[in-house]
């Protein structure tokens, strides 16, 4: 049997949530049966490009629609026509219908739109109109709908019927252990520190500037507190400037992109995610699987918190309220039962990868 060829269309191959979801699944499906290629808008890092190519994938960088729609259309059409694809899987939320329209014109029989968010990024009037238009046009273009969660699917597609594909992870990699905690706190020089952690792109969406302001209130109550943020992004300088202006720059550490997040979670005392909007964050699943206490904004969907382990606060609440809740959660300690609970809830990558693999196999027989 020939391999099932799937073109994944997504923003990039960086460290973002969509990339994590797609690559996690690709690393855990049967590559003797299924092959992914990637069409992205942001050029990949050499490491990501090598990772994809080592898996036998091709990576194509598309022109941005905003710069030249004709160049985008022509390049995407050429990629699809030359790739002999069975399936095109678009991870562009309400804009997925655009590449899938060209996939349909090229004769692709299975065209998947995948929702990863519950809100529009920087909603403009045009974007809102485009989302409403997508709900009208999708039935003529999209053959199958996928979503990371119920709220994201309903928000992006305006419908209740879609395939729910959980953002699976390798749960055992994130399982808490005292040995792991002691080792990472020794390595990071975190002994006798109250470590508040955050993981995510340094961006407006992730709202780390607000987190630094909250942390300034925490320091007033806990002098041994430090804030450790993992990630890179356009808000880096603003975050550092805010910490300096508040006189806490000696307690705020930007750790960059990390490949040891699973270990760092065991070393943190509490995790904070004050995002302006989220779909179903992979980081949230990792945090829950680790059993790490967490405080998140109520703009983050709560549907993955089946065991009510996370405190959700309004972004309108005062920084003092946030600070007190974070310190309260930090006293709880890691819950070592959560890894098994998350496995039972279907968040292990082997389960979600098998579901996706079976879908692709069945779709290729249409």
Q: For residue range 289-319, list pLDDT tens digits in order.
A: 999 999 999 999 899 999 999 999 999 999 9
- Locate the domains of the chain by residue range: 4-168+348-364, 171-344
Q: Please compute the mean of the pLDDT values over residues 181-197 and round it to a whole number.
A: 97
For the chain, the straight-line distance linking the first and the last C-alpha, in angstroms and rounded, comes to 15
d(CA 179, CA 187) in angstroms, rounded, equals 12
Judged against a pLDDT cut of 80, whether residue 1 lies above it is answered with: no
Q: What is the CATH number of domain 4-168+348-364?
A: 3.40.50.2000
- Among 106-115, 119-128, 184-193, 226-235, whose mean pLDDT is lowest? 119-128
Q: What does the pLDDT read at residue 122?
A: 76
The CATH architecture to which 171-344 belongs is: 3-Layer(aba) Sandwich (3.40)
List all residues 6 or more positions away from 95 whose beta carbon is below 8 Å from its beta carbon. Answer: 130, 134
Q: Nearest CA to 169 among 76, 283, 303?
A: 283
Q: Considering Cα of 86, then 39, then 13, then 239, what sign does the dihedral take?
A: negative
CB-CB contact of 97 with 136 (8 Å): no
User: Is there a common fold for 4-168+348-364 and 171-344?
Assistant: yes
Give every strand in the sheet of 225-230, ordered side by side.
252-256, 225-230, 194-199, 270-273, 294-297, 310-313
């Amino acid at each position: 049997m020939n391999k099932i060829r799937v073109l994944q269309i997504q923003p990039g191959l960086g460290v973002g949530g969509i990339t994590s979801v797609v690559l996690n699944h690709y690393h855990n499906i049967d590559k003797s049966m299924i092959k992914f290629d990637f069409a992205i808008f942001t050029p990949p890092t050499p490491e990501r490009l090598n990772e994809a190519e080592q898996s036998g994938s091709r990576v194509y960088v598309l022109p941005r629609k905003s710069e030249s729609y004709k160049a985008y259309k022509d390049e995407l059409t050429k990629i699809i026509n030359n790739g002999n694809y069975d399936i095109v899987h678009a991870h562009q939320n309400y804009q997925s219908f655009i590449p899938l329209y060209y996939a349909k014109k090229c004769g692709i029989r299975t065209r998947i739109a995948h929702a990863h968010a519950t809100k529009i990024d920087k909603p403009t009037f045009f974007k809102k109109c485009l989302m409403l238009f997508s709900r009208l046009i999708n039935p003529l273009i999209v053959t199958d709908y996928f979503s990371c969660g119920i709220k994201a699917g309903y928000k992006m597609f305006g419908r209740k019927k879609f395939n729910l594909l959980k953002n699976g992870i390798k749960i055992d990699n994130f399982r808490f252990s005292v040995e792991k905690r002691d080792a990472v706190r020794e390595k990071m020089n975190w002994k006798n520190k109250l470590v508040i952690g955050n993981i995510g792109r340094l961006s407006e969406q992730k709202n780390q500037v607000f987190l630094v302001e909250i942390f300034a209130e925490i320091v007033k109550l806990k002098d041994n507190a430090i804030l450790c943020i993992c990630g890179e992004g356009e808000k880096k300088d603003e975050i550092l400037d805010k910490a300096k202006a508040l006189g806490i720059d000696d307690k705020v550490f930007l750790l960059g992109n990390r490949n040891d997040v699973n270990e760092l979670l065991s070393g943190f005392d509490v995790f904070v995610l004050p995002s302006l909007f989220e779909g179903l964050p992979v980081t949230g699943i990792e945090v829950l699987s680790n059993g790490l206490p967490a405080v998140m904004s109520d703009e983050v969907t709560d549907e993955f918190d089946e065991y009510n382990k996370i405190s959700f606060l309004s972004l309108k609440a005062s920084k003092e309220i946030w600070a007190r809740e974070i310190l309260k959660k930090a006293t709880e300690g890691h819950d070592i039962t959560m890894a098994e609970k998350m496995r039972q809830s279907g968040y292990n990558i082997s389960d979600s990868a098998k579901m996706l693999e079976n879908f692709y196999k069945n779709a290729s027989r249409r």
